[in-house]
Every structure is written in C-alpha cells, then in structure tokens.
A and B are shown apart, each in its own frame.
Chain A
Amino acid sequence: MAEIKAGETYGFFTDTSVCIGCKACEVACKEWNQLQGDGPTFLADSFDNTGKLDAQNWRHVKFIEHVPDEPATTGNGAAWLMMSDVCKHCKHASCMEVCPTGAIIRTEFNTVFIQQDVCNGCRNCIAACPYGVIGMNQQTGTAHKCTLCYDRLQGGLEPACAKACPTQSIQFGPLAELQQAADVRLAALHSQGVTQAQLYGRDDSVYGGLNAFFLLMDKPETYGLPNAENARLPSRNNAGGYLAALVTGVLGVVTGLVAFRRRVTG
C-alpha cells in the first residue's frame, strides 16, 4: 500500500459480507499488542468464545447467530452474521468528550488514542462509549482499547488485524479511499440483489462519521450498533441535567429559608 503519512485520516473499512469468522484479526491484534487475552470462558449459547471487546480484546469477531430450530434447507444460509468489531475512532468521540484528564487524544493519523501515561482509570470513557469498546486493565489501572496500531502506523506499517485478514474483510487505508471502495462494494451487492446490505458510519449520521466503518448485512441494531437516532453524544444531557439541578437548588434554598424563618415559640 501507499506510504502512511502523518496529517492524513486513516481508518478501517470492515466488509462483514466477506467475514468468515476465522478470528485471525483477533489473534494478530493480540500478538502485536502483546495482549494476554481473558481467561477461557465457555459461552454456551454461541460459537463465539471471545464474548466482547474489552481491555484484552481490541478486535472481536461477533457471531450473530440465528440458527433455526429446523434443519437448514437450500438457500437457508442467513443463520450466521459475522462482524469483526473494533473501536470506531469516531469523528465526534463520546469517550474523548467526557475524559477529564485529557488522556484521550487524536493522533496525527486522526485516530482516537488513550495515552497510558496520562489515563488515571476513572472509567468515565467506559460509561460514555456507545459501542462498549473500552475496557479497564486492573493491572495497569488504565483504560485500554484499539490504538489502530498507532505504533505500526508511525513505522509505516498497516495495522496487524488488516494485515492478517485472509478475506480482506478488514481493509485499512486513507479514509477517503476506503469510502470510495465501500461505495463500489455496496453498489455491487445491491446490483446482485443483496438489498439488505448497508453502510454504517460511512456518512456523518453516526457520531460525525466513523474512521472505522462497516458494511453490514442487516440493520445496525442486529450487530449491537446504535442506529443514527440512538447515536448521541453524552453531552446531550448536560443542559437537562443541570437545569433540573438548578431548579431543585432554587426551590431547596427558598423552602429552606421559609422553614428556617418560621416563628418558633420558646
């Protein structure tokens, strides 16, 4: 691929229509970032044993399983949806908005990055992230998530997950190029009659646009992604919350003064 340059916006285009659920991206991510992974857990209701994104899983191949009770018939292959989930590196990032320490920054590649030497583990970003991306590492006492392989980008290398993906479900590159590629792919799918295919995060309807955006084979909610109506920043509640507090404060002071100015015999 072309040279990776500071000052340009980079991201991922994850095409879920070609994801085969091999989890090579998860392994590559752990290898490069030296993540130990969580202890083995058996999720009996799924073939996915990773479970969720957290401090040890910066990539997670979600298995959305709608396996029918009856045996599958010819053409009945819609029982499985797979999606390699990752930090979206939102243009308007909820985590960055609420972080009180300034630990969460935008890098020279326009990605969202948690500075480990600045983060103090308050977990406000975890409460804010609408995608459940960020996890707390109890050993370091700091919040962790995908860095979009910041160190690899600085070295001119593409992120480990994109490098390892055998089906090119995960594509890395300058955001503008990825968006063009996504448009072409969507048009191709639609022309083949796959009308349910849709792009998520390609435009600015979700958090101003996502650096890591997706081609989905169903509506966003099916994949555990908030739709445009639900994708709102935490600061939306500042005005209402403070207004309620202000009104309560005024009423509290007034009623307090009324109570304390009452005539008391004795």
Chain B
Amino acid sequence: MPFLAAEHFVQPPQWTWYILFYFFFAGIAGGSYVLATLLRFGSDPRDEPAARLGFYVSLAAIVVCPILLTADLGASWSRFWHMLIDTTPGNGGLNFKYWSPMSLGVWALSVFGIFAFISAADAWFADRRGEPGLPTPIGRVLMIVGSLLGLFVASYTGVLLSVSNQPVWSDTWALGGLFLASGLSGSAALITLLVRYRPQAGFSLERLRVADGYFSVLELALLVAFFITVLIAGGAARLLPWFPLWLLALVGIGASLLGFRRPTRVGSGAESVALRSIATEATAVSVLVLLAVLAVRAAVIFSAQ
C-alpha cells in the first residue's frame, strides 16, 4: 500500500439536523454579507438595491444560527452562554481558546451578529430615506471588518469538523474552504432568487450570475481536493453511501457553471422580460445551487457518523 490509511476508533458526536442547518445558515449569513459588501465596493450605484438585499439576507440568516445551536444542546440548552463565560468555580472571565474552532466560532458568530445587524439596519434606514447606505469611511471600515468576520463564520464550520479525530472530517484540510466557496455560491443564488421581490435589484443579476460561476469553480476544485484527501486516508468507503447527496452537490455546481457560460440578458428597457427570465432559468439554477449547498454539508456531516 503506497500510504498508511488513517485509523479511527472514535464515537460520532451525533451532530445531525440542527448542525446541518446551522452550517447552511452560517454559510449564507457570512456569504451574503461579503457579497453585499463587494457589491457596494463595485462602485456602481445601480448595485445598491442588491447590496441591501444581501445585508437583509445576512441578518435573517444569522438570527437563525444561535437558535439552532442552542436547540442542539438538548437538555443543557440554557447553558449556551458557557461557551463565552468561564463558569468553572474560582475561574470566571471569558472563554476564548484560539486553538479550538468552536470557541473561536462562537465569538465570531456573536460579533458578526452585531455587524450584520448594523449593516442591515443602515440598509433599512437608507431604503426608507432613499439614500446610499454607509458611504462614510467609517461605514466602509465597518463593512470590511464585517466581511472578514463573515468569511470566518462561513468557513470555520468546516475547520471545526476537521479539528477532531473523526473519520473523513479529520482526514482532509479542504472543508473550511469548501464550505466557504459553497456558502458564497449559495448566497449569490439566494440573493438572485429574492430579486423577484425587489425588482430594482435586477440590475445586479448578471453580476451575481458571473460571481456564482467563479465561486462554483472554487467549490468544484475544493470538492475534488476533499475527495482526493479522504481517498488517500482510506475513507472512500464512508463517502459512497451518500452518493445521491454528492451527486446533488455536483448537479448544483454544474447548473451554476452552465448558467455561467450562458449569460442571462437583463436590459433596462425590458424589466418584465428580465423578471420572467429570472422566474424560469435563474430560479431553477438558484434552487439547485442552494440544494447543493445543503447537500454538500449533509454528505460531509453524515459520512463520518
């Protein structure tokens, strides 16, 4: 044998449905915030409606996250705050372990929630007043810091799985990047889907489609890296039972890449035509991409347990 297969004698942590959906919403929350910021930094004011949509999506998704995490604690749900505060008798102070992704992630999630709230509130007030959102230097700094946190929130969940001794999860370095790329792709897809409720954001559809294509290329590359690393570690047998989920993930990535190659024409004079186009092709692609985001996380989570 050309390599030594990793051996695991662990028990599964039973992270299942709550964690699956937490991983999904964390990816969407972080990804949407980053996309919204990038849309603003694209310097075209016509992207502003889509940027605000991104901030709204980010806030909505991040609100769900602590609820799912708390529910996952089961009977100890009321101790969720023990992640942040050290309750060991005689210790006190804050719990912060930079070497534990779960500890880092809880802090990132908490702080990112504040940024998501501020940006979404700013977008809401800007919508009400009809002004551009956060144009000040401080506003830009806020969005940059928020985006860095967003990138972390969307990716650390994969690193958290790897920083264990579980089969599959700990046999690869690709999960953090994979979840981030898939979160960015899913965010572009979700914002695209929601444009139907915010027609003035239709201008950004083309750009979101192109961005989704780039993210899908990244996701595909990381998925290949994931398979290779797990294969080398001797974990292929654990991946096979989840073949339908892997297939769904690949279909979503493929749909995004096909959409990337065939541009959707969106012209200012044909808004209704453009929206009809969204209702068909873009909707189908976006739904597939979102299902792929869920499928890739489900396949990863369940293949180890």
Q: Which residues of A contact B (CB under 8 A)?
A: 52, 54, 94, 97-103, 105, 115, 117-124, 126-132, 134-136, 138-142, 221, 224-227, 229-230, 232, 234-235, 237-238, 240-245, 247-249, 251-253, 255-262, 264-266
Interface contact B266-A123, CB-CB below 8 Å:
no
Q: Taking CB as reference atom, which chain A residue is nearest B181? A: A248
Nearest-Cβ distance from residue A98 to partner chain B, whole angstroms: 5
- Please report the number of residue pairs spanning A and B whose Cβ atoms sit closer than 8 angstroms: 237
CB-defined contacts of A264 to chain B, threshold 8 Å: 44, 203, 206-207, 266
Beyond A120-B80, A130-B165, A244-B174, whether A52 also contacts B75 by CB under 8 A is no
Query: Quick one: given A98-B102, A252-B34, are A120 and B83 in contact (CB under 8 Å)?
Result: yes
- CB neighbours of A240 from chain B (8 A): 162, 173
Asked if B76 CB lies within 8 Å of chain A CBs, one says yes
Q: Residue A124 contacts which of B13, B38, B203, B225 (CB distance < 8 angstroms)?
A: B13
B9–A226 CB distance below 8 A: yes
Mask, B77-108, CB within 8 Å of A = 1, is 10110110011100100010101111100100
Q: Min CB distance, B220 to chain A, in Å? A: 12
Contacts A101-B82, A260-B207, A266-B203; A252 near B159 (Cβ below 8 A): no
Say which residue of B74, B213, B218 sits within 8 Å of A141 (CB atoms). B74
Q: Report whether B170 and A237 are in contact in the complex, using a CB–CB cutoff of 8 Å.
A: yes
Q: Is the CB of B76 within 8 A of A128?
A: no
Q: 30 A-B pairs, CB-CB below 8 angstroms?
A: A54-B11, A101-B82, A101-B87, A101-B95, A115-B88, A120-B76, A121-B74, A123-B14, A124-B13, A126-B10, A126-B11, A126-B14, A134-B11, A141-B73, A224-B9, A227-B7, A230-B6, A234-B165, A234-B170, A237-B163, A244-B175, A244-B177, A245-B156, A245-B180, A252-B181, A259-B208, A260-B38, A261-B42, A264-B44, A266-B267
Cβ of B242 under 8 Å from chain A:
no
Please report the C-alpha to C-alpha distance between residue A120 and residue B175 in the assembled complex, in whole angstroms. 26
CB of A238 within 8 A of CB of B151, answer no
- A100-B102, A105-B88, A136-B14 given; A242·B176 CB < 8 A: yes
Inter-chain contacts of A266 with B (CB < 8 A): 203, 266-269
Residues of chain B lying within 8 A (CB to CB) of residue A141 = 73-77, 79
Residues B38 and A127 in contact, CB atoms below 8 Å apart: no
Q: Does B235 contact A (CB under 8 A)?
A: no
Binding site for A on B (CB under 8 A): 4, 6-15, 34-35, 38-39, 41-44, 47, 72-77, 79-80, 82-83, 86-88, 91, 95, 97, 99-103, 106, 147, 151-152, 155-156, 158-166, 169-170, 173-178, 180-181, 184, 203-204, 206-208, 210-211, 213-215, 218, 222, 225, 266-269
With known contacts A100-B97, A141-B75, A262-B207, A226–B7 Cβ distance under 8 A: yes
Select B41's contact among A126, A241, A244, A257, beta carbons within 8 Å: A257
Residues of chain B lying within 8 A (CB to CB) of residue A100: 83, 95, 97, 100, 102-103, 106
Asked if A248 and B75 sit within 8 Å, CB to CB, the answer is: no
Task: Please give 16 more A-B residue pairs, beta carbons under 8 A apart, in addition to A224-B9, A226-B7, A244-B177.
Answer: A100-B102, A121-B73, A121-B75, A122-B72, A139-B75, A141-B73, A225-B9, A230-B6, A237-B173, A253-B34, A256-B214, A259-B207, A259-B208, A260-B204, A262-B210, A266-B269
Contact B11 A135 (CB under 8 A): yes
B9 adjacent to A130 (CB under 8 Å) = yes
Kindly provide the distance from the CB of B223 to the nearest chain A CB, expressed in whole angstroms: 12
A237–B80 alpha-carbon span in the complex (Å):
26
How many whole Å from A121's CB to the nearest CB in chain B? 4
User: Which residue from A98, A227, A253 sits with its C-beta under 8 Å from B38?
Assistant: A253
Interchain CB contact under 8 A, A94 and B99: no
Which of chain A's residues has its CB closest to B164's CB?
A: A127
- In the A-B complex, the 4 residue pairs with the closest CB atoms: A141-B75, A240-B173, A141-B76, A245-B176
Nearest-neighbor residue (CB-CB) of A117 within chain B: B87
Alpha-carbon distance between A128 and B7 when the two chains are bound, in angstroms? 14
